[in-house]
Every structure is written in C-alpha cells, then in structure tokens.
Chains A and B, each alone.
Chain A
Amino acid sequence: MLKYSKHRKGLLTKSFFVSLCFALSASVSAKTLIFQSKDNSASEPVYEQESGSQVQASTPSAPVAPAVGQTSNINSELFFIVEELKQEVMSLRGVVEEQAFEIRQLKRQSLDRYKDLDSRLQEMAKARAESVSVVQKPELVTASPNISSVQGAAVVPVVVQADVKSAAAPAESAPSVDQDQQKLDYQNAYAYVTKKDFPAAVDALHAFVEKYPDGDLTGNAFYWLGEVYLVLPQLEQAKQAFSIVVKTFPGHRKLSDATYKLGVTYDRLQQPAEAERYLKMVQEKFPNSTAAKLAKSYTISR
C-alpha cells in the first residue's frame, strides 16, 4: 500500500501537470491518464495518449458505462475548472489593461494641467509686461481680450462671457458688416477645417470671430473652433469654445451639437459629472436632434 501511494504521488504531480497543460493549450488533443495492464495483477502505470477509449471499450463487463461516466466526470470537472480559470485569467487581463490605461491617462492629464497652468502664468507675466505698449496701439486692445478668452483657457466661464460681450460691444457701434464678405470669410476659414489644416483653421476662425464678433456665423465659427481644438486636442480651449456657443448663442442652430460636444469635451477632461450634465441637457432640450441621439449612445468613461 505504502509503495503504491508513493508511486502514485509521483504520478499525481505528473498527471496534474499533464492535464493542466492539456487544458491550457486548447489545441492539443485529449490526453488521458490511464493504466494499461498487460496482465491483471501487476499494474504498471503508463502514461498514454488518446488510448483511454480503447481500454474502456475492451473491458466488456457490466459496470462499464457508469465507470466511464465517473472517470470522465472527474475529467470533465477538471476541464470546466480550467475553462473557468481561462476565463478568469482573461477578465483579469482585461482589468490590468484597463487600469494601465487609466494610469497612462492620469499621467498625461497631470502633465497637461501643469503645462496649462504654466502657460497661463507666462501669459499673465507677458500681459503685465505688455500693458504699457498696448496703450500705444489702441486697435489691439479690442482684439486681445477676445483671443485670451479663448486661448487663455479661463477656468471660470463667467469671465469668458464677460470677455466676449466686451469684445462684441465695439462691433455693434461699428458700421454694419457686409454679409457677403462675412460669408466668404467664413467659408474660407471653414475650408481649412475640411482640408484638415488645423493650425490654419484655428488662426482663420479666431480672425473671423474677431472681425465679426456678433455676426450670423460667429456661433458656427466658435463651434468649429471647438471642434478643431477637440481634434488637436487642446481640451481646455475646446471647452471654452463650446461653452461660448452654449452660453452666449441661445437658439443657435449649432446649439444642440455644441452642447453635446461640450459634454464630450468634459468627458475627455475626465469630468464625468459635467459631461453627464451636458449630455443630459442636450437630450432634454433637443430630444429629436441627432446630437441627442449621439449623446444617448455616448458612453462616459469613468
């Protein structure tokens, strides 16, 4: 007995590995651990491939079927355990991949935030230094707040609104803008978007909103600025541009799209609560719009 069990122990480890290996490499055909007896008394354990069936088939006596059932039950059990383990490993792999992704994202974001802060500090310093020279060039004064409101990525939206309004004020008193010229300018600026020349598009669109702060197409221009920034991606600026459309162009035909894209931008900025707010808003305010449908199907990453 003792000899047997010793023997068996060695075999056990072997068999364990064998079945595991087999199950893991799904392609390898079934290997079964069996004993082949030359005569019935001296049974020597032999490891064989794919011959279990023959042994069982050649033993004619009664309890064959249940015996097959039981042995294979154990085999099946192992098979299912391995299947389960495979699935478990796969889903764990999924979790690892997802977490690695999130870590990468967080790293990138903290770097972006730092850069953003740094650039704003530099701009502030520059603005202070330039404040003297600005007085000498009065036409630049109206332009600069507008630009900084978009590019400077002000954190508080109220500030943006104020900036845009103040920029718009002088334009109202200016002589009425030639509609055709405006349309042409818009199309020229938009052409850069279609040609995917994004830096040129940014310049042209900024120039456009500067020239026509209160034009028919100004909302469109801000919208496309947002789109371009989203592609670049300069998310803070994108947020700014979409916010301007949403907050200062009520009733604009790009409003539903801009609201949706603002939600998307917040999602990209890892602000799921804000993202959800705007994605919900677009569905409530414009239930029949394409943007609402897109918002509905959009999955916010958390």
Chain B
Amino acid sequence: MLLFLFRVFLVSAFCVQAVYAELRIEITKGSDDAVPIAVVPFTNRTNLALPADIARIIDANLLRSGDFVTLPTNKMLSLPDKSGDVYFRDWKMLGQSFVLVGQVSSDAAGRRFHVQYELMDVYNQKRVVGELISSSTTGMRQLAHRISDKIYEAITGVRGAFSTKIAYVTLDLKGDDAEYRLQLADADGQRSKTLFKSAKPVLSPSWSNDATRIAYVSFESGRPAIYIQNIKTGKRKQITNFRGLNSSPMWSPDDKKLLMTLSKDGNAEIYSYHIASASLDRLTNHYGIDTEGSWSRDGRRIVFTSDRSGTPQIYEMDLVERRPERLTFKGRYNARPRFSYDGEKVYFVHKSTRDYHIASMNADGTDQYILTDTPLDESPSVSPNGRMIIYATKRNGKGVLGVVSVDGDSKYFLPSSHGEVREPSWSPFLN
C-alpha cells in the first residue's frame, strides 16, 4: 500500500534559499509503480552550517519524478552515512528497494565542500553507484541535482534531468501597468533570475540546442518582433521585425535556423529563417493559419498547427517533399505540437468536450492520449530526457506551471508566489 500514492497531496516544505524561490512545488499525483527509495540525511562532518540540505533536495527531486517513492526520515530505523553501516534487513523490512547514504566534509578553509554518496541495492545487497565530488559553497544545489541525475540514471537507465533549467514568462499586473518578465530557473523552480523585463507582452521563449541562447517574441516596440538573447552575457539582438506577425520562433537542431510564423505575405505562414544570412524560406502556403512549427531532431520534418481544414489540427511535413499530412483527427482543436527528443512522440494541446489538455501521440498520429486533467492547459515542453512535460495551466484563476510524466502517471505543479506564470520551455541538457 506504500506504493499507492494516487492523489496524495503534499506540499513540500523545503524553503532553503527561499529568497530566490519563486516557484514552489506541489505534488498531486504519483506513479503506482514507483520504486521505493530511502534517502538518508547526509551527515554534516564540517563544523559549518551547510548552505543547502543535499539529501532533502535529492529526496524531493526523486519523489517529483514520479518514478520513485521516498521514505520519510522519521520512518527510518537508522541513519547510516556509509555503505558499511547499512543493514539491508532493516531496509527490506521497510519495503525499500534502494538506500542512498552520504556525508559532507569540507576543506580546512571551509571554502569547498566534498560530498561522498553511495547508492545501495537492498535486494541484491550491493553498492550500485557512489562517488566523491566537491563544489564551492554556492554550488551545493547544483551538486544535489547532479547526484539526483546519477541516481536516477543508475536505477531507471534513463539520464536524469534534474540539473537542467526552465525558461518561462511571468506577468504581474499592477493596476493598469503590466510587467512581463522572461525568467530562468532550475528545473525545480528554484534560483530564478530575470533575463528580460518589459511592459509589453513577451511570448514564446525557445532554447537553442546548445543551451546558450533563448529566442522569443517581444512587443516592446508596440508590434511583435523576434529577439535572440544570450543567457550568459544577457546580450539581445532583434532578428526579425516584418510587417504583421513575427511569432513562434523555434531553433533548428543545428541552431543555424529558426522556424517562425510571419504574415508579411498576407497571412500566417511558417518560414525557415537562416540566422547567419538572414534569408527566409517559406515552408507553408495556404490561406488558413499555419503556425507553431516544431522541428524534428533530424531536422528533416516539421509538425505545425494549421486550420486549413476548418479547425486547428496538427500537420506533419517533410521538408523536401513539402506536402503536409494531417496527424490529428480526434476533436475540433489540436494545436502547438512539440516533437519529443527522440522524434517518436509529439506532444500537443487537445481540446476535449470543453477543456484544453496536454496530449501525446506517436509521430505518425497513432496512440493519442490525454495526459492532464486541468481545464486550460497549454504550451507543453519536454524535458531533455524525454520523461516529463512542463506546461502552463490555470489554478484558482492564476497561471501556474505544471509538470506531468509522459505517461500521464505522475504530476506536480510549480505554483508561483506572485504573478501569472506561463509559456515554460525546458532547456536541453546543460553539459
């Protein structure tokens, strides 16, 4: 019954670095087949107060993924901090499959921390993975995310995406004044910072595949234009400012081109824009709306939204043949498709009878599933390991971010402490 985590409402209470915390996590649903794991608090062998509770962060990461169910500390019979002290029988009795133990030490000056961790397999009574890594005092959170990645991969065989980033847009309304911000944060919503601020709408952030730049739409001139901003330097560059629409930028796999929607030739069409030469290649041609293009990983195909058949539906197009093929046939509204990293799946927004949900399908249009159950879900963006989808939704009338596993089994929200949060974009792997 431990596994039975359906509809468990849990507000995680870790507020380390609460100063930066803009998005706080709330788990609403876990997977029925989650692997039980005990993350034992790491012993602090320094005589300093640690800037972050590593075990806490790892525990929260694993729990949130939906692939694990973690054991609360007060249920643990002992708190070992190295493999030799782990009594497998105890953990077996507690129904645990894995135990993570570790300790933190520091150099003499207290400037660098060393973390030693070991992951133990309870049934096979052996060490799965372990390592000694160090970091500066400010890098503790990243370190915890890195360990989470290692553990996730050791157990599931899939690379962890805990040390990735998310970009999103927030909107604060102060009377009649609007403040849009393009934000950047850790995948768990912590350590957010502002990349760009404007009184006019900011839309559609998209990560370059080398994770160094973000393309987005800004209305700062009163009309929409596409910008590229370097994350490290903060430098921005206006890329397009055509008559009419300039929207929906999306990087090509080689980062040399941007897919975008322009209406300079009359109505919304999808173009491929070669960044270095500033040349355009028009990809679609129909008096209906064509927009929201997404590139496949091999760069050979795109999927996009078109209402050429009277209602918005998702089409796929080979970039050589350029004959759009419709993929969605269920329902009267299917839009904003995004390819999965392996190119096998497409995630999109589907309108069921009344509500808008995130749905998934195979790249050939088969196997369509609805993944979310809140009423106004949009802007799906896939994690680089292909396991989770971050999306925008409304809770209590406020825009928040939600995360759902690609099988729809587990789910959590990243509610913001202030303002509306929308249009999340999950970064690629950062290293």
Contact = CB atoms under 8 A, between A and B. Distances in A.
Given A25-B266, A194-B156, A294-B408, A90 B288 contact: yes
Interface string B401-417: 00000001000000000
Interface stretch (B102-110, B185-193, B304-312): B304-312
A101 B266 contact: no
Contacts of A91: 309-310
Contacts of A191: 156-157
A231 B368 CA distance: 11
A180 interface: yes
A97 B33 contact: no
A97 B309 contact: yes
Nearest to A291: B6
B72 interface: no
Contacts of B352: 297-299
A222 interface: no
A297 B366 contact: no
A86 B7 contact: no
A187 interface: yes
A274 B35 CA distance: 34
A101 B364 CA distance: 12
A87 B33 contact: no
A240 interface: no
Given A26-B266, A220-B33, A297-B355, 5 more contacts: A26-B267, A90-B308, A90-B310, A194-B158, A297-B353
A94 B357 CA distance: 22
Contact of A94 (B35, B67, B266, B309): B309
Interface string A172-209: 00000000100110010011001100000000000000
A47 to B, nearest CB: 22
Contacts of A113: none
Interface string A81-100: 00000110011011001100
Q: Chain B binding site: helix, strand, loop or mixed by DSSP?
A: loop
Q: Chain A binding site: helix, strand, loop or mixed by DSSP?
A: helix
A58 interface: no
A254 interface: yes
Nearest to B288: A90
A287 interface: no
A90 B307 contact: yes
A89 B149 CA distance: 52
Given A290-B29, A297-B373, A299-B352, A93 B357 contact: no
Contacts of A184: 123
8 contacts: A26-B287, A90-B288, A90-B310, A191-B156, A194-B67, A195-B156, A257-B32, A299-B352
A98 B329 CA distance: 7
B314 to A, nearest CB: 12
B51 interface: no
B330 A297 contact: no
Contact of A180 (B92, B310, B370): B92
A127 to B, nearest CB: 32
A187 B370 contact: no
A289 to B, nearest CB: 8
B353 to A, nearest CB: 7
Contacts of B97: 187
Interface string A20-41: 0000111110000000000000
Interface string A198-240: 0000000000000000000000100010000011010000000
Interface in B337-395: 352-353, 355, 357, 366-367, 369-370, 373
A290 B373 contact: yes
Contacts of B146: none
Interface string A133-157: 0000000000000000000000000
Given A187-B97, A194-B67, A24 B287 contact: yes
Contact of B158 (A180, A195, A264): A195
A290 B4 contact: no
A250 B368 CA distance: 28
Contacts of B307: 90
Contacts of B67: 194
A86 B287 contact: yes
Q: Which of A101, A254, A257 has the most CB of B within 10 A?
A: A101
B308 A290 contact: no
Interface in A118-139: none
B156 A294 contact: no
Contacts of A87: 310
Contact of B309 (A24, A27, A28, A93): A93
A257 to B, nearest CB: 8
B157 A195 contact: yes
Contacts of A253: 4, 32
B326 interface: yes
Contact of A294 (B123, B267, B373): B373
Contacts of B254: none
B326 A101 contact: yes
Interface in A71-86: 86
B370 A297 contact: yes
B370 A298 contact: yes
A61 interface: no
Q: Which of B67, B307, B366 has the most CB of A within 10 A?
A: B366
Given A24-B287, A101-B329, A233-B366, A180 B123 contact: yes
A301 interface: yes
A133 to B, nearest CB: 37
A190 B3 CA distance: 14
Contact of A190 (B33, B265, B357, B367): B33
Interface string B30-71: 001101000000000000000000000000000000010000
